[in-house]
Chains A and B, each alone.
Chain A
Amino acid sequence: MIARLLEGVPRRGLVALGALLLLLLAFPAFASGYLLSVGFLILYFAFVGQAWNIMMGFAGQLSLGHSLYVGLGAYAAAALYVHFGISPWIGLGASVGIAMLAGAVLGFLAFRFGVAGVYFAILTIAFAEFARIGFDHFSWVQGSSGFFLPVANYATNDLWNLRGSPRMFYYLMLAMSVAAFVACHALLRSRMGYYWQAIRESPEAAQALGVNVFRYKMAAVVISAAMTSLAGVVFAFYYNNLFPEQIFHISRSIELILGPIIGGIGTLVGPLVGALLLTGLAEGMREVMLQLGVEVPGVKQVFYGICLLLVVMFLPHGVWPPLARRLGLERGAGGRGGH
């Protein structure tokens, strides 16, 4: 199993990944509370970026409404915890189930009736907006006035109920990001991965080769939704408050796709690189400006805009593919390890 996962992965790539993992593991030891929260955000965006990339990068289906799955995942686990004291580790079953159901309904409507391209993207926005407005009036989770979890006592870490310090959340998110990376790597070289990429490149040709396009597109949406909802669970227990206006908002959907776009759509490392660049640099810049006593509201958004512009103009495939080539990590013969 492990041997097959490693097959065709360049040795230098493995060494680089190992070094990165060690660095991330050691990070909390020397990071301040603020830096640790930035580290958490980077890992969070790396994870959701990876999840979104399954749909767009692998299967070529553009979703602009992934905040839907974050929100559903967050609300389901939080509501079960607050109302019934159910551990999020059990509650995430409901989160994943509901998100998969939402993804399946969306996918069925779109793929059964041939909604594709831009119209598919608009449908994903519509579903997220529908959830936002619906949750505003959903009194079981306090509607638009916001749903609050009892604030955690940071002195002790209760992993079972996800009540604890930022450091616990950092390591949890790190474990999830590593798992997502490995899972996506395995998916990409499975039958499903080949079929997704074929559908992305040419649905007609894929179908002529015996690929059930409907089934594999559905699988992409449902798997991506399930993964994204897990990030929602962590989000809810980390921030302890949920507002439909925020969590389902389209800006959240856009924010989570910037990482993979800037890092490199369809690549494994792209979402990670993108999250590191965007979140790391934006927060770092804000900090530097704070130190200098300059306060400019909206500087993060301007920074995102400039990054996007530069990438679109000079690196249309994202930062990672040319970087990988420079580092000699591009895919080796017969494998896609360098991704």
Chain B
Amino acid sequence: MHGAWAWSAAPAAAADTEMSARLDVAAISKSFRGLRAVQGASFEVPAGGIVGLIGPNGAGKTTCFNMIAGVFAPDAGEVRLDGRRIDGWRPDQVCAAGVGRTFQIVKPFVGLTVLDNVIVGALLRSNDVPSAKKLAEGIVEKLGLGPKRDLPASALTLPDRKRLEVARALATQPRLLLLDEVMAGLRPTECDQMVAVFRELNRAEGITILLIEHVMRAVMALAQRIVVLHHGEVISRGTPEEVVRDPAVLESYLGEETEV
């Protein structure tokens, strides 16, 4: 397993010397039929870091994700991965460049087994099916899906489908992992397990993570820095402790009595 992940660790070290940002989002905007979903949002994700993107429903978080992942091109602004512009690329090109993503509304390949789902992702950087299978088996174990690997994905419960989303994205061996609400619907213990998995990935393999999350318990536990979006604009950024005390954030999103 560790051999397989060496690929993603190496660029991280190189990037540290030249530029600090794994992902650099500069003033991106997107409108849908005149509705401004995102306006001039800028933020960075340092190599090896974990950044949380939070905000109320409709704040433009998923739209930001979709612009980074290549689902839409931004109307204005730039997205750079390790200094290279990737905005306007197709999703498969963005993935090949090293960005793995999950979907908020899970999209498992329901007719395939859990393992085959993950093999599809693993094939991206494997020369053949047997080596992809080997890689996929390790990831399936890591995400706790081992006992269910031969079940069709249609048989999985929602928390397991979320795990499968993560497993598939990880199988593409990303330099940057985009997680779109993977904790939603999980019980607190399941949520803590998931947090532990990401921490371990981050610590042991140096994987960089940008996560959208409503579950503040997970965000506070994981994120080193938080960016808050509201009405498509960044209204606050900083460490988790700073952000939860920011009056603007309390007013628009967290509410005054939030406990974390």
Residues of A in contact with B (beta carbons under 8 Å apart): 189-191, 194-195, 197-198, 200-202, 204-213, 266, 333-334
Is B216 part of the contact surface with A, judged by Cβ < 8 Å? no
Q: How far is the CA of A197 from the CA of B109 in the complex (A)?
A: 8
Report A186 CB to chain B, min CB distance, Å: 11
**Chain B residue contacts of A333, Cβ below 8 A:** 150
Contact A198 B120, beta carbon cutoff 8 Å? yes
Chain A residues in 8 Å Cβ range of B90: 207, 212
Interface of B is mostly: helix
Whether A210 contacts B124 by the Cβ 8 Å rule is yes
Please name 18 further chain A to chain B contacts, defined as beta carbons within 8 Å, in addition to the given A194-B120, A202-B107, A334-B115, sorted by A numbering: A190-B129, A194-B123, A195-B120, A197-B120, A201-B109, A201-B111, A204-B107, A205-B168, A206-B109, A206-B120, A208-B69, A208-B92, A208-B95, A209-B171, A209-B172, A210-B92, A210-B121, A211-B120
Interface contact B103-A208, CB-CB below 8 Å:
yes
CA distance A137 to B102 in the complex (A): 54
Q: Are B96 and A191 in contact (CB under 8 A)?
A: no
**B119 contacts the other chain (CB 8 A):** yes
Which positions in B face A, CB cutoff 8 Å?
69, 71, 90-92, 95-96, 101, 103, 107-112, 115-116, 119-121, 123-124, 128-129, 132-133, 150, 168-169, 171-172
Question: Would B120 and A209 count as touching, CB distance under 8 A?
Answer: yes
A209 touches B124 (CB 8 A): yes
Name 21 A/B residue pairs within 8 A (Cβ), A-sorted.
A194-B119, A194-B123, A197-B109, A198-B120, A204-B107, A205-B107, A205-B109, A207-B90, A207-B91, A207-B92, A207-B95, A208-B69, A208-B103, A208-B169, A209-B124, A209-B168, A209-B172, A210-B121, A333-B150, A334-B115, A334-B150
A213 CA to B70 CA, complexed, in Å? 14
- A266: chain B residues at CB < 8 Å are 111
Pairwise interchain contact A209-B110, C-beta atoms closer than 8 A: no
**What's the dominant secondary structure at chain A's contact region?**
helix
Alpha-carbon distance A197/B112, docked complex (angstroms) = 8
CA distance in complex: A197, B168 (Å): 15
CB distance from A132 to the nearest CB of B (A): 35
CA distance A208 to B107 in the complex (A): 10
Q: Is the CB of B121 within 8 A of A209?
A: yes
Smallest Cβ-Cβ distance to B117: which chain A residue: A198
Q: Which residues of A contact B111 (CB under 8 A)?
A: 197, 200-201, 266
Given contacts A190-B129, A194-B123, A208-B69, contact A213 B103 (CB under 8 A): no
Residues of A with C-beta under 8 A to B171: 209
